[in-house]
Amino acid sequence: MKNTFQAPKGTRDFMPEAMAVRRYIEETWRRVSVRHGFLEVDGPTFESLELYKVKSGDEIVSQLFSFRDRGDRDLALRPEFTPTLARMVAAQAQGLPRPIKWFSIPRCYRAEQPQKGRLREFVQWNVDFLADPSPRCEQECLMLCIETLREFGLQAGDFRIGWNNRDWLTQALTSTFVAPERVGDAYFILDRLAKLDAAGRRELYAQRQCPPQEQSQFDLFAVAISSEPAAQDALAQIMDAWPQEVRDGIKAFESRLADIGLGEYCRFDLSVVRGLAYYTGFVFEVLDAKSHNRAMAGGGRYDRLIETFGGPGMPAIGFGMGDVVLEIVLRERGVLPRQLLSAPDVFVLSALPDEQPVQQVLMALRRSTWDSANQRIAQAGLHAVASYKATRNIGKLLPEAVASGAKVAVILAPEEQARRVAKIKNLVTRSEREVPLDATTLAAQVRAELQSC
C-alpha cells in the first residue's frame, strides 16, 4: 500500500455505488417528509460548544469533536441537530407561522468508539413538530416514520415501534412502589432491564441502591417486557395497580393509533424510556424486529427544550433516524434497489478514427433548451455517454453499451459517415435505423426512439 493515508476512524468514503445508496436514503426521507407537510431546514455544521453543554452537561463534551478558533471561541461539530433547531426556533419564534413542521438531513459527528451501526460521522434525518400540544403531533410523527420505513420496502413484521409516556409512567411508578426521589433511578433501571438476566439485574439493583420492594417489582417488569408467555399476565398485573387515568390514557392513545391504521406497528412498551433527560411525555423507539440491531430511530416530546434555549414556552416533539443502522437493516431484508446509479439514456459508440464527431453528437444530446418566456427549462438534456475505450470494434463496444443500461445506442462508422448518416439502435428490441448525421436531427431522433421504449 503505497498510499498510507486512510479515512479517519469511524468515517466512510462514498464511492459512486455507496453514494447512490446514500442519495436514495436521503431522497426517500426528503420525499416522504415533504408529502407529510414538513419543510426542510439546515444549520451550521458546527456550533458553539456551550450550545451542547446547555442541554446535555459536561459529560457529553467528551463525545464531541470540539476545537477552538483563532478568536479563542470554543466550537464543536454538531453531534445532533436538535440544539441547532431549538436555537433557530427560539430566535425566530415570534415570527414563524404555527405549527412549525420542520425536517432536516444533517451530517452529524460524535467522537465515539465505532461499532456496528455506530460511526463517528453519519447522516441523521430529524423531524420536529413544534408549537402544538395536541396528540395529533404524536400521530403525525409516527405516521411519517412508519410511512417512510414502508417506502423503503419494510413491512409490519420487519420493525416494531415501542412507545411509552414519561408523565404517565412517573405517575404510575410514584403511585405504586417508587419514591419520588427515586424516579430517575427507576428510569435508569427500566432502560437496561431488557438486556439483563437475573444476575445482571441484582448487580444493577445494588448499583442503584434499590430497596427490596422495588427489586421484586422490577423483576415483574422484566418478565412483562420479555418474550416469555407470562409477559402478558405480568403486564396486566403491573397495570392493574396503576391509576385509572393512566390506564385510560394508554387505551385512548392506542385507539387513536388504530383509527389511522398504525395499530399493528405500535405497542405500549414499558422498557422504552429513552436516556435523555429532556423528554417530557410521549417517547418512542423503532426497533428491528428480526435481528438485534440497534434502534433504527427514536424520539419523543420535549415541551421545555425551547425555553431552555431562551425561547418562549413551546410544546415540541421530534425524532431522529440515522443512515447507518437503516442501511444495515435494508440490506439484511434485501430491499435496497439493485440499480441505484442512474443508467444513461443513450450510449454513443464510434468506429471513426476521429473522436470529434462523437463529441459533437454528445453535445447535441446533452444540451438543455431554455424557455425564457416561462423561466424554466423547456427540454432537459439527455443523459448521454460514450465509450472511452481505444478499440473501434463495434462488437466490443456494444457489450459496454448494453452493460451501461442505456436503452438506445447511436452508432457512428466510416461507411455511414460517407453517406452522411448515423445509426440509431434500440438496445432493447435490437432494431436499427439510419438517420441523417446532423447533430440536431440526430438528437431529435434519439428522443423519438426513447419515447418508444
Partner RNA sequence: GUGGGUUUAGCUCAGUUGGCAGAGCACGAGGUUGUGGUCCUCGGGGUCGCGGGUUCGAGUCCCGUAAUCCACCCCA
Residues that bind RNA (CB under 7 A): 1-2, 4, 6-11, 52, 56, 60, 63-64, 79-80, 82, 110, 112-116, 118, 195, 274-276, 292, 294, 298, 320, 351, 353, 388-396, 398-399, 402-403, 411, 413-416, 423, 425-427, 430, 432
Provide the residue type at 237 as one letter. Q
Rounded distance between C-alpha atoms, residue 6 and residue 338, angstroms: 28
Q: Are 396 and 417 in contact (CB under 8 A)?
A: no
DSSP character at residue 264:
T
The least distance separating RNA from the CB of residue 423, rounded to whole angstroms, comes to: 5
- With respect to RNA, which residue has the nearer C-beta, 182 or 425? 425
Q: Quote the least distance from Cβ 9 to RNA, whole Å.
A: 3
Convert 389-425 to b/e letters by CB count within 10 Å (16 or more is b). eeeeebeebbebbeebebbbbbbbbeebbeeebbbbb
Closest approach of RNA to the CB of residue 138, in Å:
17
Say how many Å lie between the first and final Cα of the chain, rounded.
Answer: 47
Report the alpha-carbon distance of residue 328 to residue 335 in Å, rounded. Answer: 11
- Say which DSSP state 61 is in: G
CB of 114 vs RNA, minimal distance in Å: 4
Measured over all CA atoms, what is the biggest interatomic distance in the chain, rounded to whole angstroms? 97
| Closer to RNA by Cβ: residue 80 or 177 | 80
Cα dihedral sign, 7-9-15-20: negative
Closest CA to 160 of 284, 43, 279, 247: 284
Q: Least CB distance from residue 439 to RNA, whole Å?
A: 19
Q: Which is nearer to RNA, 73 or 116 (CB)?
A: 116
Taking the complex as a whole, how short is the minimal distance between the CB of residue 350 and RNA, in angstroms? 10
Shortest Cβ distance from residue 66 to RNA (Å)? Answer: 11
Which residue number, 75 or 351, has a Cβ lying nearer to RNA?
Answer: 351
Smallest gap, in angstroms, from Cβ of residue 60 to RNA?
A: 5
Could you tell me if residue 21 is left (phi over 0), alpha (psi between -120 and 50 degrees) or otherwise beta? alpha
Output 70 or 195, the one with its CB closest to RNA: 195
User: What minimum distance in Å lies between the beta carbon of 325 and RNA?
Assistant: 10
Task: Select 59 or 69, whichever has its Cβ closest to RNA.
Answer: 59
Q: What are phi and psi of 297, to 5 degrees?
A: -160, 160
Residue 234 CA to residue 419 CA, distance in Å, equals 86
CA 231 – CA 241 distance, rounded (Å):
16
Q: Which is nearer to RNA, 208 or 367 (CB)?
A: 208
Looking at beta carbons only, is 38 or 109 nearer to RNA? 109
Which of residues 336 and 398 has its CB atom nearest to RNA in the complex? Answer: 398
Type of residue found at 265: Y
**Adjacent-strand bridge partners of 321:** 125, 297
What would the grid cell of residue 24 be?
436514495
